[in-house]
Amino acid sequence: MFALSPATILRPEPQGALLFQQETAETALLDVAGLQALYRLCAPAPRREMPLTFAGYLLDKGFVAYGPPDGSAERVAECLEAARTISAPPRSLAAPETIHFSVTGCCDQACAGCFYSARPGSDVSAAHAPWELFQQVVCQAERARVFQIALGGGEPLLHPRLVEMVRLARQHRLVPNLTTNGNRLTRDLAVALREAGLGQVQISLNGASEATNARTRPNFRPAMAAIEVCRQVGLRFGLNFLLTRSSLEELPAVVRLGRRLGAASINLLRPKPPTTEGDWLARESLDAEGYQQVKRALPSLQSDVQRESKIENRKSKITLDASLTFLLTDWPPEQLYRRGIWGCCAARKFVTILQDGAVLPCSHVRWSDVGGGDFMRAWLESAVFARFRAQEETLRGRCADCAYLELCKGCRAVVLAFGGDFADSDPHCPRGPDGRKGASTGVLRR
């Protein structure tokens, strides 16, 4: 017999449901047929015609487990009924899956190309998020059944009540995660964060050597020390790697390093518009040819990680920034859809809240028409959010004609930063007739 895992949250969506596994942060979007199959799987006498691949997938991802009837079938039945009446904005979930919450505007270091301009002493680094704002957000998130809250900044470890924030998020059934430079992650703090219920900490690392990392980040040794602290205290961690011209050649080395150290994920990020050096983005962004190199290297990198992780009994995976969806276009659109690929998820799966309460669809396009941290009002009423959701109708050029439009949409922040209009095509897409243009941006070394 099967039952929903204790770590699985089931949330109704229009004509379906979203499943979230709190321990692994895996999600799955089921349609009505999928919900009906889940009901049969959890029923006291499941039918034999249940597809083995469906049951195997749910078992492998931890959504269900072997066990006696525990009311799971009744929960699925209630969700199935709610799915027939619940509504959602166009091309969006009924509520955000994740909230990106800016804990602070403060930072203790200056990085080339920082999109937040959080340099020490800068005007934007004046304020931490008020405790009352955070309380309001997590209470609303619990009512809306939001799954995760990503705590960032600035440097979130500078907030004096960060551990309390993590604990409060867990109390309201949110999985709190954290992105940090690692400078202040002591052993005692790591233990406190783990005990408070932190799901995962992402540590920024742009090179496997101090020399390469120093081209974009000044803290290689503190970051490596933070990774070691996580390993020692059993705090789940991942790496954030920024794909730039300065760091591209060390991507394979960072992937190997992350896998060897036990990183749960190596997350590849695309450079976004900085508010520090005016020409940094143009100098460091990969062009179409550079992204072609990454695209060609990804299958073997992912294969190596999966093979070696199995050998060493460690689970590591490579994940991609949503703005890098164009790297996945060797797969047919239907397969990407079945794998849950959404491309740009701004105003569709996640929302950003700044430390002053401004609600944005995207961390990198600072447009907001709702404040006070009221993200559900923004989700349902914001004209800015509606504009992001209408990209399929408004995009022009190669994006408009692309078979992957609904699964990618490019990156509006990058388009705007390179002088385009919001509706213009992504200038760095490696697909199509322009995919081979541009000067070489470096060589990936295996």
Under a CB-based contact definition with an 8 Å cutoff, are residues 99 and 165 in contact?
no
Residue linked to tokens 């800068």: 122
The span from the CA of 59 to the CA of 2, in Å, is: 9
Q: What is the pLDDT of residues 174-201, one digit of tens each?
A: 999 999 999 999 999 999 999 999 999 9
Q: Which domains does the chain have, with CATH numbers?
A: 2-83 (no CATH), 98-351 (3.20.20.70)
Residue 257 φ/ψ, nearest 5 degrees: -60, -45
pLDDT of residue 176: 98
Q: What is the pLDDT of residues 8-61, one digit of tens each?
A: 999 999 999 999 999 888 899 999 999 999 998 898 875 556 566 888 989 999
pLDDT of residue 309: 56
pLDDT of residue 439: 40
Q: What is the pLDDT of residues 418-432, one digit of tens each?
A: 999 999 999 999 985
Give kind and range of the element (H or E) at residue 179. strand 175-180
> Taking the model in full, what pTM does it have?
0.92
Nearest to 127 by CA among 357, 364, 375, 363: 357
Helix (H, G, I), strand (E, B) or coil at 280: helix
Q: What is the pLDDT of residues 391-415, one digit of tens each?
A: 999 999 999 999 999 999 999 999 9
Task: Give the distance, in angstroms, between the CA of residue 178 and the centroid of all CA atoms in the same chain.
Answer: 11
Mean pLDDT, range 371-389, rounded to an integer: 98
Percent of the chain with pLDDT over 70: 90
What's the residue count for the chain?
446
**Neighbour-count burial of 372, counting CB atoms closer than 10 A to its CB (0-12 exposed, 13-18 middle, 19+ buried):** middle
Per the structure block, which two tokens stand in for 146? 């939001």
Mean pLDDT of the chain: 89
Nearest to 37 by CA among 9, 17, 7: 17
Q: What is the pLDDT of residues 145-160, one digit of tens each?
A: 999 999 998 899 999 9
Nearest to 294 by CA among 263, 346, 254: 254
Q: Assign 442 a pLDDT band (cuts: 50, 70, 90).
A: very low
